[in-house]
Structures are given as C-alpha cells and as structure tokens.
Amino acid sequence: MTSEIIITKFYKKYGESGESPRVFFSPGRVNLIGEHTDYNGGYVFPCALSYGTYMAARITDTKTIKFASLNFDFTIEIPLSELNNKVKNEWVNYPLGVFDEFKKTGVEPDHGIELLFSGDIPNGAGLSSSASIETVTGFFINKVFGKNKLNLVELALLCQRAENKFIGVNCGIMDQFAVSVGKKDHAIFLDCDTLNYELVPIKLDGLKLIISNTNKKRQLADSKYNERRSECEQAVKYLNKFKKIKNLGKLSLNEFNELSARIPDEVIRKRALHVVSEDQRCVEAVDALKNGDMMRFGVLMNESHNSLKDDYEVTGTELDTLVEEARNIKGVLGSRMTGAGFGGCTVSLVKEESVDIFIKNVGKKYEQRTGLKPDFYVADVGNGVKEIQ
C-alpha cells in the first residue's frame, strides 16, 4: 500500500469533489521479548513494523462521519452526536472508542469527516492491528482537531483507554506505546509501570526477523487474556500478605523464589513465575542486544516461549508447532510466540542465508501437522505513527 493507492481508492469511494484527503500511517508491532509483563508493571521490548494501517481522511461540510475500510465490507455513517455508541461486533468500534476518549478531553470534531482505512497487518494475528487502527485515528484527531494537544506518550495512553473502556479488552500499554513512539531500526525498552523508555538500536547484520502467522483466528476479547490478568492480580494479593508490592513487576526473580511458596495455588504460582522470570529475560535480552550477542538473544527468545508454554499456558498447538519446526532449521537462533497467544504469530531470529529454507520447510511441516497454511513476513523495523501526505 502507498499513499497514492489509498487516495485513488478514496476517490473511488467518496468522489473527487472537495479537498484532497490527508493520509496517515500507523505501524503494527512485534514484541521481541517480554510477553504478558506489560499489564503486570514489568518490562517489554517491542519494535514497530513497516506493516501497518493507512488512513485517508477528508473534512466535509456535513455533520456525520463516514467509516469505510478496504479490509472489511462493513461501512457506516454516524452523526457527530452519536459517536459514543458502539456498533455490535464491528471493526469501527476501534476508531469510535478513540473519538469517545478524545471527547472526554474536550476535543471533538466540529465538521463531518470521510475516512478510509487500509491495513496490511493480518487481523487477529497478534501484531496489534487494533492498536494500529486506534493510534492512526488518534493521531489524526489530535493533529486536526486537538492542535497537537497530546504528545505521543499521552496519545498512546488515550488509545489504551479506548481499548480498555470502549472495546472491553483489558490490555496493557505496550501495543499502543510501540506503534506511537517506534523508531526505524530501534526497539523500545519500556518500563510499563513508569513509562520510562529507551530506544535501543537493532543491528541485524546477516540476520532477519521472520514473523510466522499460524492463521488460527482468534478474538482477543474472547480469549483467556482477561483470565490471565486476573490470575496475576490474585498472585499479588497472596504475596501482599508477606511483602507489599504494587504488581508482579516489582519483584526480582530472587525475591519471588523466596516468596513463591506463599502462593498456595499451584496454577497462580506458575503464572507469577512466568511474569517475574520473563521480566528478567527482557532485561538480559536488552543487554545482549547492546553487546551484539545475538546468540544469547536467541537463547532468551527460546526460554521465553518455553515459559509461555509451560507456566503461562497461552501458546497452544499451532504456536508450539511453528516454534518446534523453526528450531529444527539450521540458522535459527531463537523462536517464540509473540502477542497475547492462543493463536497469532511467532517471531524468529534467522540467519539471512536460511530465510528461504525456513519459509519452505517450516511452512510444509506446519501444514502437515496442523492442516493450516501459515503466512510468513520478513520484517523490517519501522517508524511510529505519522502523517504521510
């Protein structure tokens, strides 16, 4: 997708009368390591992708907003006075939630708008298509109607609130943060409790990141995501009887090992173990990247997936199969699930000369074992949300 293509599609949809539409872009993201730590106040290490969501927008003299997408058949025209009403089971709830949150800050459109979205992020793959749609909408509202009232971190927080309150998914801050402040050829080492962050250069000399999509469709709101979050909150309640902590991100691995027997429920204990150990892996992974130790980075990716599989139990047959087959390929340094789990994608660190054989062999073996045909994306690390034209 390019700005020229989406403008052509925009004119076909809405006509050429009026001003030229403005075009905005927000990327998807992949989390390199640090999974299910964000809502526990821990560390994450995501990066923005070159894939993402394009949005063409034109102000009109009407009092309605028209929503359309090149990815979905559903279109709708909504009066400005009714932007706080949800549309049952439709993609437009993501931008609507952002309009609703901006209204609470005193920023709302005073003219009609024609909107056309187009994304090349696989929906439901765990690469944050929802956060990308939210953030591109929010960037547009903030710039055109809010006169840049919010900075990028504040924008990320607003879009997170939209997903929490309007959509009903109790997500952490990582997705919206990564697609807002991402920088080309850098990953974001983010403390999800304080929102302090560092942009860390990614030097993939002779290596490629390959994202493998299971093509097992899932709806995050209907998954066990909220259940896992509740289990982590229960772990904190148990531990608070012996050590006052705000969240699991406040525990070192040594502290957890000393206190873990205080959690009487074995399942809750395993959930907490994943979070605390994953936090430690995230810190070590950043150090490995800074030191150029990509072999160590790959080992930590593998350990992360094993923990997500055995202790957090959010992987499933499809993700585990992709990881197993990836690790059988010579030239793969590490492979792990990325995103919320229960389907979605893996991310693998692969030597450049092994990319073709990786895609061929992993694809073949995965299809034989699951009956599903995977998709592969050789990922570039891109910039965060921006206006293109």
Q: Which amino acid is at 295?
A: M
Provide the phi-psi class of 231: left if phi over 0, else alpha when psi is between -120 and 50, else beta.
Answer: alpha
Distance CA 107, CA 91 (A): 22
Distance CA 381, CA 256 (A): 34
- Dihedrals φ, ψ of 206, to 5°? 75, 10
Task: Please enumerate in sequence order all residues whose Cβ is within 8 A of that of 112, keeping only pairs 6 or more positions apart, or say none.
Answer: 59, 60, 61, 62, 63, 64, 65, 66, 80
Active site residues per annotation: 175
Residues in the chain, overall count: 389
- Could you count the other beta carbons within 10 Å of the beta carbon of residue 328? 13
- Could you count the other beta carbons within 10 Å of the beta carbon of residue 161? 17
Distance CA 137, CA 158 (A): 11
Q: Which amino acid is at 39?
A: Y
Distance CA 287, CA 202 (A): 12
Instruction: Concatenate the DSSP letters of all residues of 325-349 into one string.
Output: HHHTSTTEEEEEEESS-SSSEEEEE
Residue that is written with structure tokens 């949005």 in the block: 55
Q: Are strands 64-69 and 112-119 parallel, antiparallel or unpaired?
A: parallel
Q: Are strands 207-213 and 375-379 parallel, antiparallel or unpaired?
A: antiparallel
DSSP-H helix ranges across the chain: 3-14, 93-104, 129-144, 152-161, 174-181, 225-239, 253-259, 266-290, 294-310, 317-327, 355-370
* C-alpha atoms less than 13 angstroms from C-alpha of 15 in its C-beta half-sphere: 4
